[in-house]
Structure 1
Amino acid sequence: MALKINKLFDEEKKVWILKPYGEIDIYTAPKFKEILLNVIETRDSNIIIDGKDLEYIDSTGLGVLISGLKRLKETDKNITIINLRPNISKLFEITGLNKVFIVKEV
């Protein structure tokens, strides 16, 4: 399945919002990484990833998230992940990434 990512900058909250649709896997992770790093370089701000329409993420995608978070932490910014599907939320729990990222149900 393909990956589509909508992105917008919320001027009021001063935060990037990324909404991935589909799957982030070994084939689509490079596109995700390019977009994530681009928004980090464009504007120094926190990032919210809305996982409502994210159907699947593998270790490659998780690695992209971790590298993006490391880059943001250099400027005291963070990634918040919201609206994860149960299967992806469980993956974050199993890997312990729910303690690395801010994961919220909205």
Structure 2
Amino acid sequence: MEITKIIELTDQNFEKNVFLSNKPFLVDFWADWCGPCKVLSPILEEIACEYSEKIIVGTVNIDMNKKTPIMYSIRGIPTLLLFEKNKILGKKVGVISKIELTNFLDEKLS
């Protein structure tokens, strides 16, 4: 099993992990069958490592967790939501490059 800094979020642990976090939380909504999600995955791994002092990164598999994606009106994947406590700071839908993601995070976290 590979070591990752990304936390697996579920309908059961989402609020506890995200809302009670002492850092902003970047959440990736994805599915196994989603090609663009697979492209984004290694970028998120790098971000989880490089931004570990600033944010926590988590993923929600929309096929295994139906409640949370509905709660946040997830219509397309991959969708990234940046939370601080229970407030959404920003949203990105679709595949984005690492540069786009770092620019997004730097802008929202400043």
Q: Work out whether the TM-score is over 0.5.
A: no
Specify which structure has the bigger relative contact order, considering alpha-carbon pairs within 8 angstroms and separated by 6 or more residues: 2
Give the alignment's TM-score, normalised by structure 2.
0.29
Give the alignment's TM-score, normalised by structure 1.
0.30
Higher strand share: 1
